[in-house]
Amino acid sequence: MTSPDPLLETDFMREMLRQVRAMDSYGILDGKNADELLSPFVLTREDRANIPLIGDPDAEIIARVSAFYNAIAVLIEKECGQMAVPLVHLSHEGFGRVLVTVGKLVVLDRPLRDVHRFGFESFSKMKTEADKQLALATELVGRYPEVARL
């Protein structure tokens, strides 16, 4: 047995796990460990190269994108003590937009592209990306607290 990855003990990765488990209505993932549950979020360069450039994202990938941004929203909420509402909007062929709002403030707003190839090179890269988004969001809430409270 390998020693558990300390990354998996971070707030973000714990929340990711919670999100993935919450989506598992039928208990298909029961008994799997953290590493197994989160491994679909990792896509090496090689994996990515093997996925066609254009494709429709399936329900599983859409759930993954939602899990990622939901987890970020939960951390934003913890950090600033106000409700953070995520909204993942996808049109055909994996194009779309993800928003997180706190009050009337848009604290995260990103275009989504090539969602059928959604993934990160490693857990570490995934967490770095989430931390970056979290920092930007909380900075915005700190700068415009009045709008965030609306």
Asked if 67 and 145 count as a contact pair (C-beta separation under 8 A), the reply is no
Between 51 and 106, CB nearer to its own copies: 106
Nearer to its own copies, 21 or 97 (CB): 97
| Region class of 128: left (phi > 0), else alpha (psi between -120 and 50), else beta | alpha
Residues 7-66 that bind its own copies (CB under 8 A): none
Number of residues that bind its own copies (CB under 8 A): 15
In angstroms, what is the minimal distance from the CB of 90 to its own copies?
A: 10
Backbone angles phi, psi at 48, to 5 degrees: -60, -40
User: What's the closest the beta carbon of residue 21 comes to its own copies, in angstroms?
Assistant: 21
Structure-token match 């090689």, residue found: 46
Under rule CB under 8 A, residue 140 binds its own copies: yes
Shortest separation between residue 4's beta carbon and its own copies, angstroms: 36
In whole angstroms, the minimum distance from the beta carbon of 105 to its own copies comes to 6
Question: Rule CB under 8 A: which of 58-117 touch its own copies?
Answer: 87, 89, 97, 99, 101, 103-107, 109
Dihedral of CA atoms 48, 100, 22, 90 in degrees, nearest 10, equals: -50
Angle at 23 between CA 72 and CA 75, to 5 degrees: 15
CA distance 19 to 9: 15
List residues binding its own copies (CB under 8 A). 87, 89, 97, 99, 101, 103-107, 109, 140, 144, 146-147
